Homo-oligomer: A and B are copies of this chain.
Amino acid sequence: MRDPVGREMRWWGWGDPDHPPALPEHALPFLREEVGMAERARPPVDLADVRLPESALPEAVRDALAGAAGIVRDDRAARVLHAAGKGYPDLVRQREGDCAQAPDAVVLPGDHAEVRAALAACAEAGVAVVPFGGGTSVVGGVEPLRGEFEAVVSLDLSRLDRLVAIDETSQIAVLEAGVRGPDAEAMLRAHGFTLGHFPQSFEYASLGGYVATRSAGQASTGYGRIDELVLGLRCAAPAGDVDVRALPASAAGPKLRELIIGSEGTLGVITQAAFRVRPAPHEHRYEGWFFRDFAEGVAAFRALEQQEAAPDVARLSDEEETRLSLALAGGEGVKARAGGAYLRLRGYEGGCVAIFGWEGEEDEVARRAGRTAAVARRAGGLSLGRSPGEAWARGRYEGPYLRDDLLARGVMAETLETATRWSSLLDLHAAVSGALREALGARGTPPLVMCHVSHLYPTGASLYFTFLARQQEGAELEQWEAAKRAASEAIVAAGATITHHHAIGRDHLPWMRDEVGDTGLQALHAVKRELDPAGIMNPGKLLPAG
């Protein structure tokens, strides 16, 4: 029998419990020098020591849910694993054993009908419902807030794990919401296809989570964001099903699909979606490039995108991120060429590394890579060849493991992301970096603030910030809040979006009104009241009080 709580994952951090350390010893002096570290290791508490309240779910409701959905768990392991996502504040609390927010039970429906039945039981009993896919939210999206209700359940979708249908002629695949990234790729690969969606959370994230959060992946410059790949979907809302058929295009009114995509479980539960798929590529080619500075790189990336010469993966690190990459790489990867005399001689020292990736048929990849190279070179870029690109590809899902290792050494590691027009990108970069440095510097924990351009659009791009700072022991959450607030206010003041692909969840809620305006927020609340009249769906997320 398969484990009904999905694949194993550290309840206090990211990923496979048996994963080896991701932070190399040779990087420690750099980190100690740049941000400092705790004097003693800071490991997570034991599972047995986690503080977990009694379940507040009445016995009768538990029985009703078991009747509706088949499986209900309220054991310690299940409740602790579902108590939080994988954002920095989540990990701070989990590691120190604070599970006050744990769900009263975990409900595991096996199909759409069981999801519907579970929602009906919860609406009837007045129990809050928090949909849980891969549990990888970094913005508090799966935290089991109970709102005005006395009990809350986590609705784990991992049993909805089927490939429902595939139309090879039309290149459309229908998959259930609980399918994880790697399983989706394996199922599609058996038919010769790929979804092409590879967020950093790929190894654990679910397709339903992709859709509910408007996810973007590392190759989305080429394959498109998830909103560009979803054609149709099925959503079980308390008021009824919203079924959006998988059609290539339509002019029949407002797009309901775009109301459900990004709804983050606040309107209902996405149980399946129809995706555009593509022939699985036979060739993957990744290269490292270098630019003299961030501004030169940004101009080059804009030229690539606007001249339709962009690769599928296009990442440009700023000077600080490049410096950290070199420190982490040690003797391999980008360091091999980028660390030494090669760059100095050519005048690129202190510059910015970029990663380009192309996927497809061999001749097409060669043709496209040639076109990218021509434009990049004209814009000042220097090729470092394939080895830095391949090193990036090997480590592309390692970031969250690295964060766990940093936390164990008393180093806060957090990321945030935004997007804006090309004409505002450099100003936004300076404003957010500056706000983080100022906010954390003021607390006596000056940070290392890094950034990369991660997704290109003809009209603009996204910026992905990572910042490291010595943790303020005993005030970790206040420290984080100060940094988060400062960065968010800088983003809003610059007219950029509060999130490019992490979603709103709990952490961005205070800035949602800035995104949509008063009237827009009223409209979204009207939809919420209609689809979820009892207000049980994921309270405290996405929509600030109207």
**Which residues on A are within 8 Å of B, measured CB to CB?**
167, 169-172, 213-216, 225, 227, 231, 237, 239-264, 276, 278, 302, 306, 419-424, 455, 457-462, 495-504, 508, 512, 515-520, 522-527, 529-531, 542-543
Contacts and interface: CB of A to CB of B under 8 A. Distances in A.
Nearest to A139: B251
Contact of A530 (B499, B526, B542): B526
A94 B498 CA distance: 51
B455 A249 contact: yes
Contact of A501 (B251, B460, B503, B543): B251
A251 B524 contact: no
A527 B523 CA distance: 5
B243 A517 contact: yes
A356 to B, nearest CB: 19
Contact of A259 (B171, B254, B420): B254
14 contacts: A170-B422, A170-B459, A242-B519, A247-B420, A247-B496, A248-B459, A249-B462, A250-B500, A251-B500, A252-B497, A252-B504, A276-B459, A523-B530, A523-B531
B522 A247 contact: no
Q: For A214, A254, A500, A502, which residue has the most chain B Cβ atoms within 10 angstroms? A: A254
In the assembly, how many copies of this chain are there? 2
Given A248-B459, A249-B455, A422-B170, A520 B255 contact: no
Contacts of A259: 254-255, 258-259, 523
A252 B508 contact: yes
Contacts of A543: 253
Contacts of A423: 167, 169-170
Contact of A497 (B172, B247, B522): B247
A370 to B, nearest CB: 13
A60 to B, nearest CB: 29
A225 B249 contact: yes
B516 A458 contact: no
Contacts of A457: 248-249
Contacts of A251: 213-216, 262, 497, 499-504
B517 A241 contact: yes
Q: For A225, A245, A499, which residue has the most chain B Cβ atoms within 10 angstroms? A: A245
Contact of A255 (B167, B262, B495): B262
A543 to B, nearest CB: 8
B519 A246 contact: no
Nearest to A239: B519
A248 B459 CA distance: 6
A171 B263 contact: no
Given A239-B519, A251-B500, A252-B515, 5 more contacts: A169-B422, A170-B424, A240-B522, A246-B421, A251-B504
A421 B216 CA distance: 25
A527 B520 CA distance: 10
Nearest to A252: B515
A541 B99 CA distance: 52
A241 B170 contact: no
A254 B249 contact: no
A502 B170 CA distance: 24
A460 B525 CA distance: 34
